[in-house]
Amino acid sequence: MSTSAPPLPEPAAQWREVCVAYPFAKRAAVGPVNLHVRQGERVLLLGPSGSGKSTLLLTLTGLVPDSIPADVTGEVSLFGADVGTQKPWAWARHVAQYFQDADQTLCGMRVEDELAFALENRAMTPEKIAEAVAEAMRKVGVPDEWRHRRSTQLSGGERQLVALAAILVQDAPLFVADEPTAHLAPDAARRLHALLTSDQGERTILIVDHRLDGLIESIDRMVVLGRDGTIIAEGEPRRIFREERALLQSHGIWCPAASMLDAQLMRAGIAAPFAPLSVNEALAHLDPDSAPRRLLEQARPAVEAFAASAKPSHAVRDNPALVQLSKADCAPFLSSAVLRGVDLTVQEGEILGVLGRNGAGKSTLGLTLAGLLPVKAGLRKGPPGGYAFQRLENQFTAGTVCEEILGAWPKRMSADERARRTDAALEAWGLEHLAANHPLELSQGEKRKLALATLTVSDRWPLLVLDEPMAGLDAQGAALLTQEILTLHEKGRTIALITHDMDLALRLCPRSIVLGEGGIMADGATEELLGDAALLARAGLAEPASLAAFRWLKAVALRLEPVAAC
């Protein structure tokens, strides 16, 4: 007697022919999309800036169109139920949703109250709330001394940590996260990735994130949106990053560092037998101690080409000082000093990396370097600088994208010249189709492009401080900004680059400083700092993904060079 298999559970989330169009928009923001997320599955949603990733997530609980007006067609369901049958807040027991902007999750309360808020709304007992809050803080890495600090007093990265803890404490069966690691230091991002992916089968995860290294190994399936807001690829990450690599690159979508190395090795005819997700995987079949010499010699130029693209093309020069801090105490506005006794010289024309964990004082130091925060003690010498804020909305003052860039030019410039240059800047940054939009209508990646364009189009600032400039940018936007930074460097501009992206720091910054423990922990060549495992552990950082390729090249040189010299 045959027995039929039990029916499969309803998908945790499902979109059927969903299309979203915002009022007065000339085209749909996303769709039509057909997508399902199985219960217990871990799905990564990728796509270029403006492809509708955030919009799609916001339809999941009905925030679009219930709270954010839009025309939504098609069907959206959660665990088999139509989303429209309940208000967005009623889905809170089923869906824990982290928004792209951490401040959309937080209420400005004390940290422990932020975490307890959702549980209090469920009428949980104080004892259970206290236990859940303590556990969430421990898992996410929120220090106990933050408990009584208001979330508004935290740095951008610290607020992101608290917002993530406030979402995870809800212990909902579906966790939806939009760029959860955009402002997290490497150790915090690594902890979050491990936390999200450790409960296999117990929690469903739908995540949008550009930081793929360290995450992608734990993802079951990828869904890729193209520029028109439709799905262009879907499947297992290894297959997508090898077989669809050219398609992803044509749409300006991030690929992990291993995918770039895999491409070089494929061209050399010596790629790994399976598509790698890490640089170590890409080189595993080419062990310097055991692989045949012929294979090592064949692979070496390909790895060298990959490594060359990961290192600065320029060196530190002994230029005059532009900005100096001497025995400086640096403090956020109306707060006590977080950095004490800082001695730092920023040379004319250099690109200085500013690294450190969340809360180490990177933004405070950057604002002090730019002259926007006075020192509490000590001395600052040098001209004022321009600052690209972490929170993009702080930078916008005009009613349209076009007007925002128009206002960045010197007043002495003629109206015709300003208009001509504005059109050129809009085209260069890929914003021409958004010229008439209000800046706050843009996606986070598009806002980032606009903010950086307004800061860099003129030569007003001899020093530019860029605070996490790559956050929210797609691969195309990041490549554009990287080239812009190098162009500014060639023109003699000085840049302080605050970043949690260690590969970016290695690629752009010959010299970096590492902040921590209330001051500057280290100052030196970026490659040396990021190769110091003890320093990275103390500072809460992680080595660049590309550093494994540098180690491989050194090991291969030790094996091959003695014979070559004979």
Specify the pLDDT at position 1: 47
Average pLDDT for 443-467: 85
Are 237 and 176 a contacting pair, CB within 8 Å? no
CA-to-CA dists, residue 267 to 263, 368, 437, 509, angstroms: 6, 47, 43, 29
Q: Which of 338-347, 351-360, 383-392 has the lowest mean pLDDT?
A: 383-392
Q: What is the pLDDT of residues 132-183, one digit of tens each?
A: 999 999 988 899 999 999 988 888 888 888 999 999 899 899 999 998 888 8
314: pLDDT strictly greater than 50: yes
200: pLDDT strictly greater than 70: no
Average pLDDT for 547-556: 93
- Helix or strand run (H / E) with residue 523: strand 519-525
Average pLDDT for 83-110: 89
Q: What is the mean pLDDT of the chain?
A: 90
Residue 311 amino acid letter: K
Are 388 and 395 a contacting pair, CB within 8 Å? yes
The residue length of the chain stands at: 566
Are 153 and 108 a contacting pair, CB within 8 Å? no
Distance of alpha carbon 369 from alpha carbon 536, whole angstroms: 24
Per-residue buried b or exposed e for 262-273, using 16+ beta carbons within 10 Å of the residue's own CB = bbbbeebebbbe
564: pLDDT strictly greater than 50: no
Question: What are the start-end ranges of the E strands in 22-131?
Answer: 30-37, 42-46, 71-78, 81-82, 95-98
Are 37 and 12 a contacting pair, CB within 8 Å? yes
Specify the pLDDT at position 444: 73
Q: Which of 98-107, 276-285, 299-308, 345-354 has the lowest mean pLDDT?
A: 98-107
- Helix or strand run (H / E) with residue 440: none
Are 156 and 193 a contacting pair, CB within 8 Å? no
Q: Which of 1-5, 442-446, 537-541 has the lowest mean pLDDT?
A: 1-5
Q: What is the pLDDT of residues 236-256, one digit of tens each?
A: 999 999 999 999 999 989 899
CA-to-CA dists, residue 28 to 50, 52, 236, angstroms: 11, 9, 28
Three-state DSSP class for residue 110: strand
Specify the pLDDT at position 217: 87
Who wins on pLDDT, 446 or 354?
354
| Cβ-based neighbours of 236, under 8 Å, separated by 6 or more | 220, 221, 222
Specify the pLDDT at position 4: 57
Q: What is the pLDDT of residues 484-524, one digit of tens each?
A: 888 888 888 899 999 999 999 999 999 999 999 999 999 99
Are 348 and 151 a contacting pair, CB within 8 Å? no
Instruction: Identify which of 421, 500, 557, 518 has the alpha carbon closest to the alpha carbon of residue 214.
Output: 500
